[in-house]
Chains A and B, each alone.
Chain A
Amino acid sequence: MSDTQIKSVALFFFFAFFDEQRAIELTSKTLKLVRKQARDSEIDTNALIVRIAQKIFAKEASRRELPPPPQDLNVFQIPEAISLGHLHALRKRITIEEFGCLLWTKVFALPEATVALGFDTTIGTVRHRTSNALKSLGQQLPHEGPPA
């Protein structure tokens, strides 16, 4: 697995749980499972990463309550212009499927087909979930000025 893939998985779990230590642990777990299943599966590695990460995400999301976004970060570096509060609120508002589709397609720029394969669904479903997530996120973000 490449560094980009490892980085994507780690950021995905950080944005999903807003906990650095937990993100590292779940990343390690995901990489282990991806490495194990990659031999027996003919599915694309990125789609496999999406599938496994989303399964772990759904499983872990039901176990613990979502903590508030961390103030000090040691492992991850978030641009200063970005406030994790918006993402944190979005994580609470939308489903984990919509949140996952939004991250994989818009943040990590995976093709919709790959994400659809990872979610074992259609591209239309991925677009629909992503659209809903974008709409929710856009409503939270402050308006920069009067609409054109």
Chain B
Amino acid sequence: MSSRELSCFLCREMLYEFAIHALDERRASSVKKHVSTCRDCLQILQDHERATKHLEELASSKISLKAVQDLKEKHRLISHNVGWRRLPESLRWGLEALVAALVVAASFHFGSQWWANRKVQKADDVVLAEVETLPGEAGQSQNFPEDTLAEADIEADEESGGAPEVTEPTQHSDEVGNESVAGPGLHHAGTDVVETENVQVAEAPPQPEYVVPQTPLVLALNPPTSPQPVAVKPSPSPAQQVPTPATMVMNSAPPPSPAAQEGGFVYRMAMSVKGIDAVTPKVIEKIMELGGQKAGQVQLGWKKPGGSYFHFTMPEAGFTPLMTHLRSFAQVRHSKDPHKRVMPAGTIRIILWVEELEPPKPSVQPITEPDVQQGEVMPPETEVPNATEEAPQTTEENE
């Protein structure tokens, strides 16, 4: 069987394979026969051989050992770095899950701490007074914080709430006094029944900074709640009653415990003046002059919708000068109420409400007893024993 003559195109297509001996015998013989007769195709074949020879010589090129070593060192470092992938897949997944769980747990832990701290900082924590408990009596004063919180609620309402309520006087058959008692917080004055025999007043210096307590008492004020007026029952012992004309006795509250009788007091005052904007700075100045310092959070003379609010502590000796000063503006209605918060010896706490004097409404007439005598101004040194014996009492001053 004679082979067909190859064209130059077909021959050149097979020249490379002919050069590398990749053609079968029949095609190889055809290419060989064509190349022997075609100078162009032969030239191309020779170019192939020459180039192949040139490349074989080029293959003998070398690279310095140092460069190879450097590349291998880099390669080893890379292998070391990616050694993680050589671990079993289950182990890798386990470690990754562990890391993820730790991250989540840490986030939750720190997040909850942050949230708790944020809530604590937002709460109205006020340290009004710090008392020192005797070491042996720590267990007996366990009910103190609850009472303190209750009082804290009341004062928080006074200081952060709206305008203080001026209540109408409570009428009762035993009521005495010819003028109603009005003032901030007076409606619940004397309603606290506390046991304070477990709490002793620390031996504190005259300044308001108190003795560093063994168990510092921090009052966490809850959101203000509306105080519930509670009537007060008179003292059970008639012998202890002092016939004070301006004493209002109410019968609905439980009798104060001995602890309350031995507890502290708070002076509540109220007065209506003309030109409150001018009076308030003078009152502040006088309080400061007498050594008074603000108690609670608000400053002295805190402006409220109906007047100015003063909550402060001062030396007991300054009470009379303060009353004298206040009377120069207007009549002062005041009461000395028992309070579970015990102030250091020689220091008293006063809540004063000064409001703008408004013309009295003819329709509202206070009901007075015909034989009620006018109230007396009771200096603190004389009120303490009375109030101690008759805890729920309210003193009216009428000048």
In the assembled complex, how far is the CB of residue B71 from the closest CB belonging to chain A, in whole angstroms?
A: 5
Number of chain A residues close to chain B: CB under 8 A: 44
Assuming the A-B contacts A7-B68, A76-B61, are A139 and B78 also in contact, with contact meaning beta carbons closer than 8 angstroms in the complex? no
Contact indicator A106/B67 (Cβ below 8 Å): no
Instruction: Give a binary string over A1-32; 1 marks a CB under 8 Å from any B CB, 0 the rest.
Output: 10100110011000100000000100110011
B63: which of A31, A35, A76, A130 is its contact (CB, 8 Å)?
A76
Residues of A within 8 A of B (CB): 1, 3, 6-7, 10-11, 15, 24, 27-28, 31-32, 35-36, 39, 74-79, 81-82, 86-87, 102, 106-109, 127, 130-131, 133-135, 137-139, 141, 143-144, 147-148
A131: which of B16, B43, B63 is its contact (CB, 8 Å)?
B16
Contact indicator B74/A134 (Cβ below 8 Å): no
Contact indicator B82/A139 (Cβ below 8 Å): no
Question: Which chain B residues lie closer than 8 Å to A31 at the CB level?
Answer: 71, 74-75, 78
Residues of B within 8 A of A (CB): 15-17, 22, 39, 42-44, 46-52, 54-64, 67-68, 70-72, 74-75, 78-79, 82, 85
Q: Which label, helix, strand, loop or mixed, suits the secondary structure of the B interface?
A: helix
Given contacts A32-B74, A78-B58, A143-B50, 6 further A-B contacts (CB under 8 A): A15-B58, A24-B70, A82-B57, A82-B58, A137-B47, A141-B50
Question: Which chain A residues lie closer than 8 Å to B48 at the CB level?
Answer: 131, 134-135, 138
A134: which of B51, B59, B72, B82 is its contact (CB, 8 Å)?
B51
Contact indicator B51/A137 (Cβ below 8 Å): yes
Contact indicator B47/A87 (Cβ below 8 Å): no
Contact indicator B82/A36 (Cβ below 8 Å): yes
Assuming the A-B contacts A36-B82, A108-B59, are A24 and B71 also in contact, with contact meaning beta carbons closer than 8 angstroms in the complex? yes
13 A-B pairs with C-beta separation under 8 A: A15-B58, A24-B71, A31-B75, A32-B74, A35-B75, A35-B82, A36-B82, A77-B63, A102-B55, A127-B17, A130-B16, A135-B48, A138-B51
Contact indicator B74/A10 (Cβ below 8 Å): no
Assuming the A-B contacts A31-B71, A147-B39, are A79 and B55 also in contact, with contact meaning beta carbons closer than 8 angstroms in the complex? no
In the assembled complex, how far is the CB of residue B86 from the closest CB belonging to chain A, in whole angstroms?
A: 8
Q: How far is the CA of A92 from the CA of B15 in the complex (A)?
A: 24
Q: How far is the CA of A78 from the CA of B74 in the complex (A)?
A: 25
Question: Which chain A residues lie closer than 8 Å to B54 at the CB level?
Answer: 82, 86, 137, 141
In the assembled complex, how far is the CB of residue B187 from the closest CB belonging to chain A, in whole angstroms?
A: 82
Contact indicator A10/B67 (Cβ below 8 Å): yes
Name the residue on A nearest B16 (C-beta).
A131
Question: Which chain B residues lie closer than 8 Å to A102 at the CB level?
Answer: 55
Q: How far is the CA of A74 from the CA of B67 in the complex (A)?
A: 10
Assuming the A-B contacts A1-B75, A32-B78, are A106 and B55 also in contact, with contact meaning beta carbons closer than 8 angstroms in the complex? yes
Contact indicator B52/A139 (Cβ below 8 Å): no
Question: Which chain B residues lie closer than 8 Å to A39 at the CB level?
Answer: 85
Q: How far is the CA of A144 from the CA of B58 in the complex (A)?
A: 18
Contact indicator A141/B59 (Cβ below 8 Å): no
A109: which of B16, B17, B59, B67 is its contact (CB, 8 Å)?
B59
